[in-house]
């Protein structure tokens, strides 16, 4: 992988489709391997860089939407899966469908 293959650089969505944030990613300035760690190794260094990145929010939203592997927006794939599930549950709740019946009061 070349030094330009970072999460922000690896994506080829044109800026007019919301990809303009990528050129500002801090990950473009560091070792890209940090953002795709070997299984079982820490993602802490990459996530720490993301906390200081000015495009963290659009990066995270993009990764949530596209299901990419690696660290994006300061999160791991498992964390993004959890965010997707939480959002889906909130949408369901906001839609007014109750999944559990309220018990009758005595």
Contacting residues toward ligand SF4, per CB under 6 A:
7-8, 25-27, 35, 49-50, 53, 55-56, 59, 71-74
Question: CA 37 to CA 56: how far, in whole Å?
Answer: 19
> Of 83, 7, 79, nearest to 46 (Cα)?
7
Residue, CB closest to ligand SF4: 25
Q: Which is nearer to ligand SF4, 64 or 73 (CB)?
A: 73
**Cβ–Cβ < 8 Å for 56, 73:** yes
Q: Which is nearer to ligand SF4, 61 or 85 (CB)?
A: 61
């Amino acid at each position: 992988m070349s030094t330009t293959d970072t999460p922000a650089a690896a994506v080829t969505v044109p800026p007019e489709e919301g990809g303009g944030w990528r050129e500002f990613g801090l990950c473009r300035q560091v070792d890209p391997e940090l953002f795709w760690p070997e299984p079982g190794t820490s993602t802490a260094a990459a996530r720490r860089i993301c906390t200081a990145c000015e495009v963290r929010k659009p990066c995270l939203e993009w990764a949530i939407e596209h299901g990419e592997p690696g660290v994006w927006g300061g999160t791991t794939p498992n964390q993004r899966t959890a965010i997707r599930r939480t959002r889906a549950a909130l949408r369901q709740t906001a839609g007014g469908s109750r999944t559990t019946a309220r018990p009758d009061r005595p």
